[in-house]
């Protein structure tokens, strides 16, 4: 079993049975986005940072070597379909989970368990996470992302409930995904538009002359057509964990249950 690691946007792998000396590591909340965002954008292949609700850091002798970001998903049904009867805010998505290649193989499950302990104490119903099994290459054909099936989620006793929504990815020349959320920010001239515009300009797009939504939509269509490749995606693998047996909803204690069937874990050959 191999566990995925990250450094400077590239993945690598370590033996999942390699032991971690836990006395040398600590896990603590990260109080603001600045530190977590910088770490994720520097090392995770996506180069992007989600809307965080909780952030935790893994430290090796006071040096940050891992970050877990728990976010609110773009669609409330990501939570309510998995945990019916609770509010969308009673659950979180594991939006980013990044450990440097210096962390021993089984460090991920140890780190994840420490994060879950703190989320459980906050009264959350559960966690949903997605793993992306699809490999991606840059425009030159070099592999930039090997795909992952969620090995550490399986090792941490997650329930596998199938794939997420199939979609077509927009791949930038370096193989990174230009997300639908980022593109919508450009079309609507919403907060965060400058980051996405900067990404496209960095890949060769001309800087837009106007911030009118209609102009930006045309600008986005023109430059994604010139710069991006389409890749059909069958949907990410979806995993979930129940953290608390009951949560309070509208003054009542509601039992937390799974609204989707438990399925056999996918294997690497399924991803291929």
Helix (H, G, I), strand (E, B) or coil at 116: helix
Confidence label for 6 from pLDDT (cuts 50, 70 and 90): low
- The C-alpha atoms of residue 109 and residue 106 are separated, in whole angstroms, by 6
Provide the b/e sequence for 204-243 (b: ≥16 CB within 10 Å). Answer: ebeebeeeeeeebbebbeebbeebbeebebeebbbbbbbb
> What's the Rg (C-alpha) of the chain?
19
Angle between helix 213-227 and helix 180-188 axes, rounded to 10 deg: 140
Q: Tens digit of pLDDT for each residue in 94-110?
A: 999 999 888 887 888 99
Q: Decide which of 80 and 12 is more confident.
A: 80
**Residues in the chain, overall count:** 272
Percent of the chain with pLDDT over 90: 69
Domain boundaries, the chain: 2-165+234-271, 179-227
What is the dihedral sign for C-alpha 116, 241, 41, 208? negative
- The C-alpha atoms of residue 18 and residue 103 are separated, in whole angstroms, by 10
Q: List 71's β-bridge partners, or say none.
A: 52, 93
- Average pLDDT score over residue span 210-215: 88
Confidence label for 181 from pLDDT (cuts 50, 70 and 90): confident
């040096």: which residue's tokens? 63
Q: Tens digit of pLDDT for each residue in 131-171?
A: 999 999 999 999 888 888 998 899 999 999 999 999 999 99
**193, two tokens:** 């538009």
Predicted pLDDT at 57: 97
Span 2-165+234-271 CATH architecture: 3-Layer(aba) Sandwich (3.40)
- Average pLDDT score over residue span 244-253: 92
User: DSSP characters for 56-87?
Assistant: EEEEETTEEEEEEEEE--SSTHHHHTTSTTS-
Q: What is the CB neighbour count within 10 angstroms for residue 101?
A: 16
On the question of pLDDT at 16 being above 90, the answer is no
Helix (H, G, I), strand (E, B) or coil at 208: coil
Helix (H, G, I), strand (E, B) or coil at 212: coil
On the question of pLDDT at 201 being above 80, the answer is yes
The per-residue pLDDT of the chain, averaged, comes to: 90
Percent of the chain with pLDDT over 70: 92
On the question of pLDDT at 172 being above 90, the answer is yes
Q: List 170's β-bridge partners, or say none.
A: 230
Predicted pLDDT at 5: 55
Name every residue whose Cβ is closer than 8 Å to that of residue 18 and which is 6 or more positions away in sequence: 104, 105, 106
Strands 91-99 and 126-131: parallel
- Average pLDDT score over residue span 64-82: 95
CA atoms within 13 A on the CB side of 57: 20
């Amino acid at each position: 079993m191999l566990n995925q690691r990250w450094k400077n946007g590239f993945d690598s792998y370590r033996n999942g049975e390699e032991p971690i000396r836990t006395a040398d590591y600590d896990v603590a909340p990260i109080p603001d986005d600045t530190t977590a965002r910088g770490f994720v954008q520097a090392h995770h292949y996506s180069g992007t940072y989600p809307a965080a609700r909780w952030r935790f850091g893994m430290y090796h002798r006071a040096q940050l070597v891992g970050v877990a970001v728990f976010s609110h998903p773009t669609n409330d049904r990501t939570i309510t379909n998995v945990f019916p009867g609770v509010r969308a805010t009673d659950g979180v998505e594991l939006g980013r989970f990044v450990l440097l290649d210096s962390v021993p193989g089984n460090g991920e499950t140890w780190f994840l368990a420490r994060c879950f302990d703190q989320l459980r104490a906050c009264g959350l119903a559960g966690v949903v996470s997605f793993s992306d099994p699809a490999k991606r290459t840059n425009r030159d054909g070099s592999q930039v992302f090997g795909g992952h099936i969620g090995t550490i989620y399986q090792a941490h006793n997650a329930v596998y409930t199938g794939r997420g929504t199939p979609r077509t990815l927009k791949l930038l020349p370096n193989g990174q995904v230009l997300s639908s959320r980022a593109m919508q920010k450009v079309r609507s001239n919403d907060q965060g538009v400058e980051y996405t515009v900067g990404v496209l300009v960095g890949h060769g797009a001309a800087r837009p002359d106007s911030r009118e939504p209609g102009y930006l939509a045309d600008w986005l269509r023109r430059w994604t057509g010139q710069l991006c490749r389409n890749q059909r995606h069958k949907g990410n693998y979806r995993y979930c964990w129940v953290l608390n047996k009951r949560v309070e909803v509208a003054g009542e204690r509601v039992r937390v249950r799974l609204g989707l069937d438990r399925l056999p874990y996918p294997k690497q050959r399924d991803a291929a």
